[in-house]
């Protein structure tokens, strides 16, 4: 499944990469067209400005020429010569700007000829005025005016041509500007959509990987627990079971020795002790078998009503509850997915624990509560379980409690915290069985004790 997701991510990434390259190339092409028409638009505007400037120069030349004719003031003549000197660079700029337009090239040639003739006739008119000292314009002036009018007509035609080009280029520039904007928006939309799609796929893959890793870690932890349980069983076999066996051997040897004395009373006592230790060893073996049977189960989990489980346990131990004058408080409990026989063993062990380790002065109180919690409230929960929800069943009592510094030993088999107190019976395997049952349900168990005040056991069952 994860391999299929990886292949899907690679295909999606490849497709998105090709799409983005294609759209990017298209966007670059559209943008190039847009910038091209923008440059042409600027070119047309420059041509029009230069034509206006040339037209102004011609008008100024005519005005300063007439001023000189009327006043013979040489200052007019100086300005007119300055204007003539400015006309030629303007014509050069026009010629350069219109080099790529055949129609406008013809116009610029005609314009240059008309302006050149206009300037020549103007200079001839100045020479005539200077030589005759006349205050009336000469025929040269009127001939020059004809060429000025012709030049103005050519420039108007050039204006019209350039205005038409300007309008066309402006429309195309606007079109490609919109197209470029839409293309870029589409590119961003496609990029964001594909990126989001890939991000979601990647996050799902990472999440599934984290869940898989968490499940693997959980299995490894369960395997370690099973290994530790097997080590405890091996320890129990090598130590706890050896003790009654050694005593059986000791008393058997004593029996052999005493047989010679024919002391019936001593023989009877010895046989009773042998039988007692044999029974103890049998119980220890039975408990070990019960624990090992819980390490692996072939049953299927089923929805189990914990209210029903607790009711049956309370009914079975009603006589003990009455003898100890115990009080049992049970809140409504949920359905959990689990193994009903194992859950019955689990809660029966916790009840037995609460009723066994009691203080003589107080009546035992057993309180069972329920709440729905998030995984981050569970000590030791992995990162992928912190957002999952759990059924938390709390079993609290007011018994003798225990010191929390012994918490690491409380769930180990045959490790009794109150061994020195002979009035408390038991073999120290009940809580080990509880931990194994909780592990079989993929849950957690923790405990908290206060010496002389009681103990609290919290059971966490995952909400499937």
**Residue 246: which domain range?**
241-296
Question: Is 394 in a helix, a strand, or coil?
Answer: strand
Is 222 within the bounds of a domain?
A: no
> For residue 420, what pLDDT is reported?
43
pTM, to two decimals? 0.48
> Are the CB atoms for 433 and 450 separated by under 8 Å?
no
Determine, yes or no, domain membership for 231. Answer: no
Q: Would you say 398 and 453 are in contact if contact means Cβ atoms under 8 Å apart?
A: yes
pLDDT surpasses 60 at 69: yes
Residues 120 and 257 in one domain: no
Residues 282 and 196 in one domain: no
In a domain? residue 227: no
13 CB-contact burial (10 Å; exposed 0-12 / middle 13-18 / buried 19+): middle
> Are 368 and 336 contained in the same domain?
yes
* Confidence tier at 133 by pLDDT (50, 70, 90): confident
Give strand pairing partners of 456. 396, 448
Residue partners of 7: CB distance under 8 A and separation at least 6? none
Measured distance CA(141)–CA(62) in Å, rounded: 9
For 325-453, strand residue ranges (E) read 327-330, 335-338, 365-374, 389-397, 444-450
The tokens of 277 are what?
Answer: 């230790």
Q: State yes or no: pLDDT of 190 exceeds 90.
A: no
Dihedral of CA 403/407/413/415: which sign? negative
Q: E strand or H helix at 305, and its extent? A: strand 302-305
In sequence order, which ranges of 317-420 are alpha helices (DSSP H)? 318-323, 340-356
For the residues 196-210, what does the mean pLDDT come to?
A: 74
Mean pLDDT score, 143-151: 90
Using CA atoms, how far apart are residues 44 and 164, in angstroms rounded to an integer? 10
Task: Tell me the sheet residues that pair with 332.
Answer: none
Do 358 and 324 form a contact (C-beta atoms < 8 A)? yes
For the range 27-35, what are the long-range contacts, defined as Cβ-Cβ under 8 Å and sequence gap of 24 or more? Answer: 27/180, 27/183, 27/184, 27/187, 30/176, 30/179, 30/180, 30/183, 31/176, 31/180, 33/172, 33/176, 34/173, 34/176, 34/177, 34/179, 34/180
Picking from 249, 272, 296, the residue at the C-terminal end of a domain is: 296
Residues near 326 by Cβ (< 8 Å), separated by ≥ 6?
320, 355, 363, 364, 365, 366
User: For residue 120, what pLDDT is reported?
Assistant: 92
Number of domains composing the chain = 3
Mean pLDDT of the chain: 78
Q: What is the distance between the alpha carbons of residues 361 and 370, in angstroms, rounded to a whole number?
A: 28
**Tally of CB atoms within 10 A around 201:** 16
Q: Is the pLDDT of residue 93 over 60?
A: yes
In a domain, 228, yes or no: no
Is the per-residue pLDDT at 451 higher than 90?
Answer: no
Maximum Cα–Cα distance for the chain, whole Å?
181
Q: Are residue 305 and residue 270 in the same domain, yes or no?
A: no
Alpha-carbon span 197 to 186, nearest angstrom: 16
Tell me the pLDDT tens digit for each residue of 341-377. 888 888 888 888 888 877 766 788 889 999 988 877 7
* Same domain (yes/no): 13, 134: yes
- Only one residue has tokens 């890793």, namely 213
Beta bridge partners of 446: 458
Instruction: Looking at the structure, tell me whether residues 323 and 382 fall in a common domain.
Output: yes
- Cβ-contact 280, 246 below 8 angstroms: no
- Do 280 and 309 lie in one domain? The reply is no
**Which residue, 180, 206, 232, sits at the end of a domain?**
206
What are 16-48's pLDDT values in tens digits?
677 777 777 777 777 777 787 788 888 888 888
Same domain, 106 and 194: yes
Q: Which residue has the tokens 């019936």?
A: 264
Residues 464 and 376 in one domain: yes
Q: Where are the alpha helices (DSSP H) in 236-263?
A: 242-258
């Amino acid at each position: 499944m994860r391999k299929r997701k990886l292949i899907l991510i690679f295909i999606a990434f490849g497709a998105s990469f090709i799409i983005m390259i294609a759209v990017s190339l298209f966007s670059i092409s559209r943008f190039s067209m847009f910038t091209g028409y923008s440059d042409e638009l600027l070119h047309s505007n420059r041509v029009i400005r230069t034509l206006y400037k040339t037209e102004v120069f011609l008008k100024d030349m005519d005005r300063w020429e007439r001023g000189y004719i009327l006043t013979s003031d040489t200052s007019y003549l100086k300005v007119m010569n300055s204007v003539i000197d400015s006309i030629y660079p303007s014509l050069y700029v026009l010629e350069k700007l219109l080099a790529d337009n055949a129609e406008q090239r013809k116009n610029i040639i005609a314009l240059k000829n008309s302006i050149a003739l206009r300037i020549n006739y103007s200079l001839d008119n100045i020479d005539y005025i200077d030589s005759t000292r006349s205050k009336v314009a000469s025929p040269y002036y009127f001939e020059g005016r004809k060429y000025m009018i012709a030049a103005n007509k050519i420039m108007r035609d050039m204006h019209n041509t350039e205005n038409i080009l300007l309008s066309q280029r402006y429309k195309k520039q606007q079109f490609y500007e919109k197209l470029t904007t839409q293309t870029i928006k589409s590119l961003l939309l496609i990029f964001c959509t594909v990126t989001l799609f890939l991000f979601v796929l990647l996050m799902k893959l990472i999440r599934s990987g984290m869940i898989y890793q968490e499940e693997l870690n959980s299995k490894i932890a369960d395997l370690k627990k099973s290994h530790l349980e097997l080590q405890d069983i091996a320890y129990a076999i090598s130590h706890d079971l050896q003790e009654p066996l050694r005593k059986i051997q000791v008393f058997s040897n004593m029996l052999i020795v005493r047989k010679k004395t024919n002391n019936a009373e001593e023989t009877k006592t010895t046989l009773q002790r042998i039988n007692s230790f044999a029974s103890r060893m049998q119980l220890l073996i039975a408990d070990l078998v019960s624990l090992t049977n819980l390490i692996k189960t072939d049953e299927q989990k089923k929805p189990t009503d914990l209210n029903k489980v607790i009711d049956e346990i309370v009914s079975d131990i009603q006589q003990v509850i009455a003898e100890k004058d115990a009080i049992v408080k049970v809140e409504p409990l949920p359905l959990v997915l689990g193994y009903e026989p194992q859950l019955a063993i689990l809660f029966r062990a916790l009840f037995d624990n609460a009723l066994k380790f009691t203080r003589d002065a107080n009546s035992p109180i057993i309180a069972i509560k329920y709440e729905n919690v998030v995984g981050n409230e569970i000590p030791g929960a992995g990162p992928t379980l912190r957002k999952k929800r759990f059924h938390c069943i709390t079993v609290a009592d007011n018994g003798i409690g225990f010191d929390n510094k012994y918490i690491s030993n409380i769930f180990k088999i045959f490790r009794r915290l109150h061994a020195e107190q002979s009035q408390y019976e038991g073999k120290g395997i009940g809580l080990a069985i509880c931990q194994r049952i909780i592990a079989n349900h993929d849950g957690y168990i923790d405990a908290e004790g206060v010496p002389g005040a009681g103990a609290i056991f919290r059971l966490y069952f995952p909400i499937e």
